[in-house]
């Protein structure tokens, strides 16, 4: 084992898959004897995220440092960068591991401005890669990504899709690169039994257009109309567009068949409904898909990002993105398939060989070394 590192993880938004990824690394790195800390936004998240921070606090020997980080490019980015640089200089870490676009800028520039001997690692997690390279925002972000490579010890991609997107939109990296798949713990491969009053379908995730909640709701309406069945669903998560989706539920006449809830632990949600639906417009290597498949949940998913790398031999069953009718047909087909739970068991067994938390943490540590 290498000598213990002092590691700072820098990212903007402590919600969703990125936060899950960081928490997993923090836990494994602390167990391996490293000192670990976090720098992230102070305004994002709620009681649920506060509880998650509390759970990992024993592993944060270098502390939890929360500052204001704007979601969009704004003048206050300069203030956030100055604060990040001061924190990094005071902590004097060996490694700054930054995540997603804003965290990637703050972490790498903050380290470079405080001590150029600090090793810097950057994982896009989709981030800026979701932008159109022809758009003004895309051009700005990709130029920034190219500039930041000179401050990067290595890029870390969570999927081959993400790596290819980076090469296509930013260019061939001028710094080292590696692919390290997201991993999940052995406990997450234990199946989650359904509650007695479980509903038919489950959407769980961010309530924002990128994740496709509107597509799920349209597909549920179409599936009900096509089948004539009183199909019901849970609609779980938090996000900036929540009010818009509640209006959509009302407009589609789904008030009596959609149960809305704020964010909750994924495995708790898995007990509430039989089939998980993933309607995203864009993804990199989504934890939700890994968690649900590991828990042996039947799933209808779109064919975007790194999701086909998870499904491997069954990727032909994935649904085209932004196609509510195709999603509705897939939902009905799986709902009528009596072998769906047997199939889910087989997928989980294959998944366990590739997407391991222990392997993920060890591969990241090798890169640090």
Sequential pLDDT tens for the chain (369 residues): 567 999 999 999 998 889 999 999 999 999 999 999 999 999 888 888 999 999 999 999 999 999 999 887 778 889 999 999 999 999 999 999 999 988 999 999 999 999 999 999 999 987 677 677 778 777 888 888 999 999 999 999 999 999 999 999 999 999 999 999 999 999 999 999 999 999 999 999 999 999 999 999 999 999 999 999 999 999 999 888 999 999 999 999 999 999 999 989 999 999 999 999 999 998 888 899 999 999 999 999 999 988 999 987 777 889 999 999 999 999 999 999 999 999 999 999 888 888 989 999 999 999 999
Residues 149 and 238 in one domain: no
Residues 203 and 271 in one domain: yes
Residues 171 and 192 in one domain: no
Looking at the whole model, is its pTM more than 0.75?
A: yes
CA dist list (Å): 203 to 64, 206, 246, 317, 323: 31, 9, 14, 19, 16
Is 97 inside any structural domain? yes
Is 249 inside any structural domain? yes
Are 293 and 267 within 8 A, CB to CB?
no
- The alpha-carbon radius of gyration of the chain (Å, integer) is 21
The domain total for the chain is 2
Range of the domain at 265: 187-351
Residues 48 and 164 in one domain: yes
- Bridge-based pairing state of the strands 64-67 and 258-261: unpaired
Q: What is the CATH number of the domain that holds 344?
A: 3.40.50.2000
Residues 102 and 55 in one domain: yes
Residues 235 and 104 in one domain: no
Phi, psi of 331 (to 5 degrees): -60, -45
Q: Which secondary-structure segment (H or E) carries 275?
A: strand 273-278
How many Å apart are CA 232 and CA 245, to the nearest integer?
Answer: 16
Residues 61 and 87 in one domain: yes
Task: Please give the DSSP secondary-structure letter assigned to residue 57.
Answer: G
Q: Which secondary-structure segment (H or E) carries 138?
A: helix 136-148
Residues 129 and 249 in one domain: no
Residues 140 and 242 in one domain: no
Residues 150 and 256 in one domain: no
Residues 342 and 285 in one domain: yes
Residues 237 and 341 in one domain: yes
Is 52 inside any structural domain? yes
- Contacts of residue 21, defined as CB under 8 A and 6 or more positions apart, other chains included, come to 99, 123, 125, 158, 182, 287
How many Å apart are CA 136 and CA 132, to the nearest integer?
Answer: 9
Is 1 inside any structural domain? no
Burial of 363 (0-12, 13-18, 19+ CB in 10 A): middle
Is 17 inside any structural domain? yes
Strands (E), 11-161: 35-41, 64-67, 95-99, 119-123, 154-157
> Could you tell me which of 168, 158, 156, 165 has the C-alpha nearest to residue 108?
156
């Amino acid at each position: 084992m290498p000598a213990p590192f002092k590691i700072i993880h820098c990212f903007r938004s402590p919600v969703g898959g990125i936060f899950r990824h960081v928490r997993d690394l923090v836990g494994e790195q602390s167990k391996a004897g490293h000192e670990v800390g976090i720098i992230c936004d102070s305004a994002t998240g709620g009681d649920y995220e506060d509880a998650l921070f509390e759970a990992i606090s024993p592993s944060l020997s270098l502390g939890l440092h929360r500052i204001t980080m704007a979601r969009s490019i704004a003048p206050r980015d300069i203030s956030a960068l100055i604060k990040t640089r001061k924190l990094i200089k005071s902590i004097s870490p060996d490694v700054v591991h930054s995540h997603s676009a804003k965290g990637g800028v703050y972490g790498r520039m903050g380290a470079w401005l405080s001590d150029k001997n600090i090793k810097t690692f950057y994982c896009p997690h989709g981030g800026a890669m979701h932008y159109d390279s022809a758009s003004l925002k895309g051009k700005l972000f990709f130029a920034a990504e190219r500039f930041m490579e000179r401050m990067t010890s290595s890029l870390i991609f969570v999927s081959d899709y993400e790596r290819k997107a980076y090469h296509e939109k930013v260019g061939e990296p001028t710094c080292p690169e590696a692919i390290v798949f997201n991993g999940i713990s052995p406990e997450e491969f234990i199946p989650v039994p359904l509650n007695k009053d479980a509903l038919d379908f489950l959407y769980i995730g961010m309530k924002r257009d990128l994740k496709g909640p509107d597509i799920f709701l349209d597909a549920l309406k179409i599936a009900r109309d096509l089948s004539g069945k009183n199909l019901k669903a849970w609609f779980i998560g938090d996000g900036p567009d929540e009010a818009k989706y509640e209006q959509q539920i009302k407009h589609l006449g789904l008030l009596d068949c959609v149960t809305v809830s704020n964010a909750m632990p994924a495995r708790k949600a898995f007990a509430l409904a039989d089939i998980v639906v993933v309607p995203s417009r864009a993804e990199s290597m989504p934890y939700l898909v890994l968690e649900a498949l590991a828990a042996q949940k039947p799933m209808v998913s779109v064919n975007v990002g790194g999701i086909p790398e998870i499904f491997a031999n069954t990727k032909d069953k994935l649904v085209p993105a932004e196609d509510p009718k195709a999603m509705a047909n897939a939902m009905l087909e799986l709902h009528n398939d009596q072998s769906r739970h047997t199939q889910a068991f087989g997928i989980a067994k294959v998944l366990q060989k590739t997407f391991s938390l222990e392997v993920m943490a060890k591969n990241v540590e090798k890169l640090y070394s």
